[in-house]
Amino acid sequence: MSLHVTIDQTRPMRLAGSFQCAPGQLVALVGPSGAGKTSLLRGIAGLMKPQHARISVGSACWCDTAQGLWVPPQQRNVGLVFQDYALMPHMNALDNVALPLRGPERLHRAREMLRRVGLAPEHLQRRPAQLSGGQQQRVAVARALVREPAVLLLDEPFSAVDQMNRQTLYALLAELREDIAVPMVLVTHDLNEARLLADELVVMAEGVVLQQGRADAIHRAPRNARVADIVGMANRFDGVWLGPDANSTAGTGWLRWGNGDAALNLTVRDKGRIEPGQSVAWVVPGEGLRLCEETAAEPATANAAPLNSLGLPVRVVTLRHLGDVWLLRLQCLDGPQASFQIMLTGPQVRPLGPGQVLQLCMDLSMVHIMPIKTGAGALASTS
Amino acid sequence: MDWQALTLSLELAFATLLILLPSGLWLARWLARTRSRARAWIEATVVLPLVLPPTVLGYYLLMSLGGHSPIGRWASETLGITLTFNFLGLLIASVVFNIPFMVQPIQRSFESIPHNLIEASVVSGLSSWATFWRVELPLAWPGVLSALVLTFVHTLGEFGVVLMMGGNIPGETRTIAIAIYDRVQAFDLSGANRMSLLLLVFSVLAIVVSLVASGRLAPNSRARQHP
């Protein structure tokens, strides 16, 4: 009973792309504000009628504009948790959860669902205004799940609760997930939340689905520069793709990084998707960067080969404390004028201070090059 | 105290409510929800009786429904009824001049319902009809109550339109407001006083009920949804 969504519209706003979500899988739609995440979710719920779309769950088709098929939201059996919960203010918690149900068992089932989401029995008769944000959210989740929906949709459900409540609710969602065997789609602008909760990310910008995949896979190989920016890859640089290396082993090529005398030619993986001579963006994920002894890596020479570590002398610019980890900003001393960001934990950072000169090792096998252009066109050119 | 006039006024008020409540609810909900271009014009028409002098409204009603008008002639020839200077004429006038009092408070109430509550209801599988009964009407209830009270009291007190359309026929068109005028004309000030006092009490009660409806019954309103 997988969820398949393909959408293409220009009005009232641009919305294009497709994604899938398997039963029991949680997919997070991520992207900046106005990326169309919520609109896509509304399209799935049937609260918005797209110009051109096909939306199906298993064998049931909810929307197929080519066939003129449109199933109204009432008949879709979707569980939707709204951003501000949208609980009925004139009903108590129990009645809110019983709202989608019919028949004599409705209150019993609602009570059971509220027990599962951990709402205390003494709160069942309270109206939303008398409940805390976290409790309201539990009621909203219970209402979405009580009808055993075919798809569970969550529209930024954690944005209105404080950090402590959020952690508890993450745990609740993780626990509930074990029993929910339907596709789940989460809209969030919080990347950490998406990585923590979701099996896969669907990266969106300006209404277009740019990439779907596991968070680590997207991080290792973002489809284009826009995706790299959206998933927060700090170490993104510009360069020119020189093309495959005829003398070297298959699957590698030359990337020119920087201009003039300071330029470096790096040997990196070549997937054969980019024309030689084209300007490119390239990224190296955090796991491809580490501080090392001076002798451990190849020095930064004009032609760093083969495909291994590149040593770069760097100076520590700033050290920022981010809770359990430290964020280091490093400036290259030789080669292209570039700065890197790396994360370190306590023991590694203790001997360091601003102004200190270190050796940064970059694992060239983890360098990923991609086209600079964004949008739907980039999808076709790289996949 | 002119009990006959009071009874007639109460009958007129209840009959007006009976006609105007369902139609007013429908129109108010439509105006609150619609994106039609006609909305502004219809809203203006709804408000018109509020700004029009009652005698002017009464005059036009008399002209358009009287025995010489096409509508009046048709009603007389086809249905065998007259539309002026009787209870029916009074009722038509009462319905027309109360439209803004019924529609506006209800429309404001419907407009104040957050749209995502309607969407939540629809996604929960409730039909439009069920959404109306279980979500919209309970949330709009303070406005509906307010509209009922305003319309009721306004009908009891209306003078100009009623006099133009109904005249002053005891037991048929003489309402309590006209009876007060009648008593004053006859220098029966104590009689006028009793009836005026009764209308004053009704009006004060109406204000209290309206305030309670919009204030104390308002946990339903959007403002108190998020503590």
pLDDT at B221 over 50: no
Residue A302 has pLDDT above 60, yes or no: no
Which of these, A127, A26, A136, lies nearest to A84 by C-alpha position?
Answer: A136
The model's confidence at residue A54, banded by pLDDT at 50, 70 and 90, is very high
For the domain A3-229, what is the CATH superfamily, name and number? P-loop containing nucleotide triphosphate hydrolases (3.40.50.300)
Confidence of residue A340 (pLDDT cuts 50, 70, 90): very high
Q: Do B225 and A46 touch (CB under 8 A)?
A: no
In this predicted structure, the answer to whether residue A156 has a pLDDT above a threshold of 50 is: yes
Q: Which of B114, B122, B138 has the CB atom closest to A90's CB atom?
A: B138
Q: What is the pLDDT of residues B118-141, one digit of tens each?
A: 999 999 999 999 999 999 999 999
The set of residues, in sequence order, having a beta carbon less than 8 Å from that of A227 and lying 6+ positions away, is A203, A210, A211, A218, A370
CB contact under 8 A, A89 and B227: no
Token reading at A182? 């339907």
* Type of residue numbered A366: M
Task: State pTM to two decimals.
Answer: 0.83
Cα A227 to chain center, whole Å? 9
Q: What stretch(es) of chain A map to CATH 3.40.50.300?
A: 3-229
A147 touches chain B (CB under 8 A): yes
CB A44 within 8 A of CB A6: no
pLDDT tens profile A238-292: 999 988 877 766 678 889 998 877 888 888 888 778 888 888 999 998 888 988 7
Task: Work out the mean pLDDT of chain B and round it to a whole number.
Answer: 88
- When CB atoms are compared, the residue of A80, A87, A89 closest to B123 is A80
How do residues A183-214 score in pLDDT, each as one tens digit?
Answer: 999 999 888 889 989 999 999 999 999 999 99
Q: Does A84 contact B at CB distance below 8 Å?
A: yes
Q: Select the CATH number that applies to the domain covering A230-375 from these four: 3.40.50.2000, 2.30.110.10, 2.40.50.140, 2.40.50.100.
A: 2.40.50.100
Q: Do A88 and B114 touch (CB under 8 A)?
A: no
pLDDT tens digit string along A115-140?
999 999 999 999 999 999 889 999 99
**Which residue intervals of chain A bear CATH 2.40.50.100?**
230-375
CATH no. for B3-218: 1.10.3720.10
A133: burial class by Cβ within 10 Å (0-12, 13-18, 19+)? Answer: middle
Separation of alpha carbons A209 and B58, rounded Å: 63
Confidence of residue A47 (pLDDT cuts 50, 70, 90): very high
Which among A47, A100, A129 has CB closest to B124? A100
Confidence of residue B165 (pLDDT cuts 50, 70, 90): confident
Measured between CA atoms, how close is B138 to chain A, in angstroms?
A: 7
State whether A47 and B227 contact (CB < 8 Å).
Answer: no
Interface of A with B in 40-59 (CB under 8 A): 45-47
Per the listing, tokens 């309590």 go with B176
DSSP string, B29-96: HHHHH---TTHHHHHHHHHHHHHS-HHHHHHHHHHHHSTTSHHHHHIIIII----SSSHHHHHHHHHH
The answer to whether the CB of A17 falls within 8 A of the CB of A24 is no
Nearest CA in chain A to B118: A86
